[in-house]
Amino acid sequence: MENFVFQNATKLLFGSGQEKDTGSETAALGKKALLHYGGGSIKTTGLYDRVKASLEEAGVEVVELGGVKPNPLISLVREGIELCRTENVDVILAVGGGSVIDSAKAIAAGVYHDGDAWDFFTGKAEVTKTLPIGVVLTIPAAGSETSAGSVVTNEEGEYKRAFGHESLRPKFAILNPELTYTLPSYQTACGITDMSAHIFERYFTNSTHVDVTDRLCEGTLRSIIRHAHTVLDEPENYDARAEILYAGTIAHNDTLGVGRIGDWGSHDIEHEVSGIYDIAHGAGLAIIFPAWMKYVYKHDVERFAQFANRVWDIEIDLNDLEGTALAGIEQVENFFDSIGMPTRLSDVDIDDTHFEKMAAKAVENGPVGQFVKLEKEDVKRIYELAQ
Amino acid sequence: MENFVFQNATKLLFGSGQEKDTGSETAALGKKALLHYGGGSIKTTGLYDRVKASLEEAGVEVVELGGVKPNPLISLVREGIELCRTENVDVILAVGGGSVIDSAKAIAAGVYHDGDAWDFFTGKAEVTKTLPIGVVLTIPAAGSETSAGSVVTNEEGEYKRAFGHESLRPKFAILNPELTYTLPSYQTACGITDMSAHIFERYFTNSTHVDVTDRLCEGTLRSIIRHAHTVLDEPENYDARAEILYAGTIAHNDTLGVGRIGDWGSHDIEHEVSGIYDIAHGAGLAIIFPAWMKYVYKHDVERFAQFANRVWDIEIDLNDLEGTALAGIEQVENFFDSIGMPTRLSDVDIDDTHFEKMAAKAVENGPVGQFVKLEKEDVKRIYELAQ
């Protein structure tokens, strides 16, 4: 186990009706809130009205900025920063999924930064001070509601990059399974893929003696797999939605990842796909992860065999550990396919036109991944395996 | 899943050498610390000197109060409160195990309370303000290093009672597996029992649809069981000590317990044993839990069978689910026995003399337990089953 420092102070308010406390929780953080959201689905579901009413009741002044897109854009972040400055906003309330929260985080950090907010993503600037963030979550997927990280796309140059800072962990996060009822099947499946991928990234590690966290990862994955079809078949099944919602949160707040060095290569490789092509991050991960696994499993066949056995109930064949490992990888691909995800680039009409460029951009700052360090040629080979 | 609010802001510093930051972490909380500890083993191991040096280097003034006993006493708590007041202490540093931390928590709350600190334990007083607490942990067991609760014994009347308040969660907790190397086998085993019991208390619940947390509980238990004999056979095995140490912490900070109503009957029933007799809390739990399980398993045979299967690898016999459940309970008893714990009251020379009195005291404030609500006669029957 690696030495680690872990602190996750986000206050989780979980369950039916919890959004009633949005106003009081926000008021504890500031007097004037930037209400940040996406395409307006929160208006059709009535959540927008309930949140506004709760904020009003708590005496919180509101400035609004909607329009966050999946793969949130730095241009809107800049607009948000300007708005927070001119309106003297002192708290940001993100109502939506990971894109909205990630956008809110970039705004929260950018308000106190003299230069451009993109500087955080290129490593040119360090986060110093941030606005506090609260969250009402509508999409279980990114885990951004209790994580310290943010991923934003710069449309000039098609860069999709991540940055993080402990101060960006939301102060509170409201998670009501009912708010996820209206999430379309495809987005639900993308979220399931994303949270699974967050666990994979932590699970495939060179850190040894990480048995407790291995088992936390495996157990959470088993639960995600078990409930995935239920939420797709019965979108208003509260219990299954609740399991998926909690799983998505712990998948990415490092409860399962302490003491181990994660990989994150697949995320980097995927970002080049959804940075160029208009596909959901989750869909990209469903395509990249099985390919990545096929490319790297020989690095630690035992770990992949353990994964196959403990997560997918595949019997360990001690005379063919490689076969056991490969059977697990096959299950991953089958699972993503079964929930309606693409598992090949050809499924989303992406051909090899940009492989060279995507691979070059992925390794622009050096090799990606920790479990196996991948150079440009490796990344290209993974895109080819994903064809 | 039950609605829940969860926040655990304790900063965990985990791993080899982390106690070097004791001074700086304490200095962030206050200028004058009460250094609270137990019987002096920290002096023989050299930890005391290292902690003092770190505090001095960080410019923290120190007032000392040692002498905390297992099953910490309210009399020492009162002494600590007095000392904090007269010395204007503004932070408490607990160096030791659960007893030291629990004693520190009672002091931290008592300093700002006009009446007697025992009032918190009887429910006569509510916690208002508390001193911040830091921890350097030496015994993985109680989970008090990141929990909100405290258990203290009142020697007048032999009462052992618990209270808790969110503000009592330590601000930081330093967990270095090496600091547990010198822990004697018996105490190590008591700790393993205690952390297992914390998971049992959460696992046996009437809350339905708690699959994710079921699996987190099961996985953590499997890891505890797997490493228990290693830490007993090789006290200086860093890796195994690290697994047990992290397991003990998550077992009791509610990471595994959110969204479910725990039982806690066995803890209440055990407190009457170690409140009267001089036995370790862990040893008492090793005796009480198997008896409790035998008494209540029919209330939810399926849950006990799941426990037997997922934690103990007992095949589910659908024609004899009760047999499956009982086989799991037998494994619990065998496990405690295998790590050198008593599993019967007769093993620690306790006879039925005080059963009547203990049972009466256990239910003084009403029935104990949530999974099954136990009246006085039930509690007495459990003592009898534990004979």
For residue range B284-308, list pLDDT tens digits in order: 999 999 999 999 999 999 999 999 9
Phi, psi dihedral angles at A134 (to 5 degrees): -120, 155
Cα distances (angstroms) measured from residue B130 to each of B77, B220, B279: 14, 32, 31
* Residue B67 and residue B38 in contact, taking contact as beta carbons nearer than 8 Å: yes
Mean pLDDT of B111-129: 95
* Percent of chain A scoring above 70 in pLDDT: 100
- Chain A residues within 8 A of B3 when measuring between CB atoms: 14-18
Q: What's the distance, Cα to Cα, between the start and end of chain A in Å? A: 36
Q: Where residue B155 falls among pLDDT bands split at 50, 70, 90?
A: confident
At residue A374, the pLDDT reads 98
Mean pLDDT of B342-354: 97
At residue B40, the pLDDT reads 81
Closest residue on chain A to B8 (Cα): A9
| Alpha-carbon gap, residue B374 to B382, rounded angstroms | 10
At residue B90, the pLDDT reads 97
3 state SS of A5: strand
Query: Which of B1, B20, B252 would you mutate first to test chain A, the one with the most A CBs within 10 A?
Result: B1
Residues 6+ apart with CB under 8 A from A380: A355, A356, A359
Phi, psi dihedral angles at A151 (to 5 degrees): -125, 125
Least CB–CB distance from B243: residue in A9, A209, A220: A209
- Chain B residues within 8 A of A3 when measuring between CB atoms: 14-18
Mean pLDDT of chain A: 96
3 state SS of A172: strand
Question: For A100-109, what is each residue's pLDDT tens digit?
Answer: 999 999 999 9
| Alpha-carbon gap, residue A342 to A280, rounded angstroms | 11
**A215 pLDDT more than 80:** yes
Q: Note the ipTM here.
A: 0.95
At residue B120, the pLDDT reads 96
Q: Where residue B88 falls among pLDDT bands split at 50, 70, 90?
A: very high
Q: Given CB atoms, is B313 within the 8 Å cutoff of chain A?
A: no
Q: What sign does the dihedral A311-A312-A313-A315 (CA atoms) show?
A: negative
User: What CATH number does the domain located at B11-179 have?
Assistant: 3.40.50.1970
Question: For A228-245, what is each residue's pLDDT tens digit?
Answer: 999 999 999 999 999 999
At residue A71, the pLDDT reads 84
**B157 pLDDT more than 80:** no
Q: Where residue A70 falls among pLDDT bands split at 50, 70, 90?
A: confident
At residue A219, the pLDDT reads 98
| Alpha-carbon gap, residue B131 to B129, rounded angstroms | 7
The tokens for A11 are: 């206050």
Q: Where residue B70 falls among pLDDT bands split at 50, 70, 90?
A: confident
Mean pLDDT of A63-79: 95
| A184-385: CATH topology | Dehydroquinate synthase-like, alpha domain (1.20.1090)
Question: For B231-241, what is each residue's pLDDT tens digit?
Answer: 999 999 999 99
The tokens for A19 are: 């959004």
The answer to whether B246 contacts A1, with C-beta atoms less than 8 Å apart, is: yes
Phi, psi dihedral angles at B309 (to 5 degrees): -75, -50
The answer to whether B13 contacts A5, with C-beta atoms less than 8 Å apart, is: yes
CATH 1.20.1090.10 in chain A is located at 184-385
The tokens for B69 are: 């006993």
At residue B333, the pLDDT reads 98
- Chain B residues within 8 A of A259 when measuring between CB atoms: 14-15, 242, 246
| Alpha-carbon gap, residue B121 to A202, rounded angstroms | 42
3-state secondary structure chain B: CCCEEEEEEEEEEECCCHHHHHHHHHHCCCCEEEEECCCCHHHHCCHHHHHHHHHHHCCCEEEEECCCCCCCEHHHHHHHHHHHHHHCCCEEEEEECHHHHHHHHHHHHHCCCCCCCHHHHHCCCCCCCCCCEEEEECCCCCCCCCCCEEEEEECCCCEEEEEECHHHCCCEEEECHHHHCCCCHHHHHHHHHHHHHHHHHHHCCCCCCCHHHHHHHHHHHHHHHHHHHHHHHCCCCHHHHHHHHHHHHHCCCCCCCCCCCCCCHHHHHHHHHHHHCCCCHHHHHHHHHHHHHHHHHHHHHHHHHHHHHHHHCCCCCCCCHHHHHHHHHHHHHHHHHHCCCCCCHHHHCCCHHHHHHHHHHHCCCCCECCCCCECHHHHHHHHHHCC
Q: Where residue B71 falls among pLDDT bands split at 50, 70, 90?
A: confident
At residue A156, the pLDDT reads 86
State the nearest Cα–Cα gap between A219 and chain B, in angstroms: 5
State the nearest Cα–Cα gap between A170 and chain B, in angstroms: 12
3 state SS of A154: strand
Q: CB A33: neighbour CB atoms within 10 A? A: 29
Q: Where residue B159 falls among pLDDT bands split at 50, 70, 90?
A: confident
Question: For A348-376, what is each residue's pLDDT tens digit?
Answer: 999 999 999 999 999 999 999 999 999 99
3 state SS of A332: helix
State the nearest Cα–Cα gap between A11 and chain B, in angstroms: 5
Q: What's the distance, Cα to Cα, between the start and end of chain B in Å? A: 36
At residue B158, the pLDDT reads 73
Mean pLDDT of A1-8: 96
Mean pLDDT of A151-163: 87
The answer to whether A3 contacts B9, with C-beta atoms less than 8 Å apart, is: no
Closest residue on chain B to A211 (Cα): B223
| Alpha-carbon gap, residue B93 to A85, rounded angstroms | 42
Question: For A278-327, what is each residue's pLDDT tens digit?
Answer: 899 999 999 999 999 999 999 999 999 999 999 999 999 999 999 999 99
Residues 6+ apart with CB under 8 A from B274: B71, B160, B280, B281, B283, B284
Closest CA to A35 of A138, A135, A174: A135
Closest CA to B253 of B9, B4, B3, B1: B9
CATH 3.40.50.1970 in chain B is located at 11-179
State the nearest Cα–Cα gap between A2 and chain B, in angstroms: 7
Q: Given CB atoms, is A315 within the 8 Å cutoff of chain B?
A: no
State the nearest Cα–Cα gap between A147 and chain B, in angstroms: 14
At residue A39, the pLDDT reads 87
Angle at A116 between CA A110 and CA A117, to 5 degrees: 40
At residue B275, the pLDDT reads 83
What's chain A's length in residues? 387
Mean pLDDT of A161-180: 96
- Chain mean position to CA B143: 5
* Residue A151 and residue A104 in contact, taking contact as beta carbons nearer than 8 Å: no
Secondary element (H or E) of residue A7: strand A4-14
**A157 pLDDT more than 80:** no
| Alpha-carbon gap, residue A385 to A364, rounded angstroms | 21
At residue B301, the pLDDT reads 98
CB neighbour burial string for A167-202, b if at least 16 within 10 angstroms, e if fewer: bbbbbbbbbbbbbbbbbeeebbbbbbbbbbbbbbbb
* Residue A32 and residue A64 in contact, taking contact as beta carbons nearer than 8 Å: no
At residue B169, the pLDDT reads 96
